Each structure stands twice: as C-alpha cells, then as structure tokens.
Amino acid sequence: MTILPTHTCFDDALEFLNAILKYEGVERLLGVRVVHGICLAPEGVQIGQPFAHAWCEEDGSCIQAGLVEGEKVYFGVDRAEFYAMLRPQDTTTYTPEEAVAQNFASGHFGPWEDRYRAIIKHGDRTVFEGESPCA
C-alpha cells in the first residue's frame, strides 16, 4: 500500500484531536500529544534536508494523516520506528489544551514556533515536497 503525504500535517494533527473528541470523547484525549518538529527527509531528491512536520503521539505510537487512493486516513507507526525514519532534530510537544490555545491565539493550525515556520515556504502550505516519508 502506498501512503501519500497530505502536505497539511499541521492541520491534520489538530483535526485528529477534533475527531477523537467527536467520536470517542474527551477522556481519550488525555494521553494524546501534538508534536511539531523539524525532521530530515528520509529519501528522494531532498534526502537529509530539514522540513517542518506535525503529528500526534499516544501510547508509544506516532499518528499522522496520509492519502490512500485519494482518501485521507490516519495511521499509527511505532514511535521508535517513526523517529528512526524521520530523525526529528527539534520537537515541541503540546497537550490538547495547549494546542487548542495556540490555535485560537494564532488563528492557524501551526506551526506556532518561529524556528519551524522559518523552513516553510511563504505562501505555500507544503512542508515537504519530496516523496512521502511514509510510502
């Protein structure tokens, strides 16, 4: 199966929180964290290049969205495997409450830290234009 990137990972992370709240309730949110980071491209023409990325973590898994046959899906990867593949160089972790507060204060889904915003192209929501790190 090929999983393509959505190129909207910051939006996807908060939408994942919203889906949990809507379908499973607030109690399930207690162990979830939103993570923003600077990762290194694992393959393709941009291998080793830094890119801003967002995902959620829960119970030793990293959860992110991808596209399978044009449909957005959320999937989990073992945290150790995820970190070995994407090699985060810097991360900031938010509780659901902190992420929602940042979202309301900034008026956008992120990234909220200058060091992550600095590597995103201005006027372009794409945070990584190479091959999918999860394909």
Which residue in 50, 41, 32 sits closest to 5, CA to CA? Answer: 41
Residues in the chain predicted with pLDDT less than 70, given as ranges, are: 121-135
Task: Report pTM.
Answer: 0.85
> Given this model, what pLDDT does residue 119 score?
87
List, in sequence order, every beta strand (DSSP E) within the chain: 33-40, 50-58, 61-68, 71-78, 90-94
> Given this model, what pLDDT does residue 127 score?
38
> Given this model, what pLDDT does residue 121 score?
56
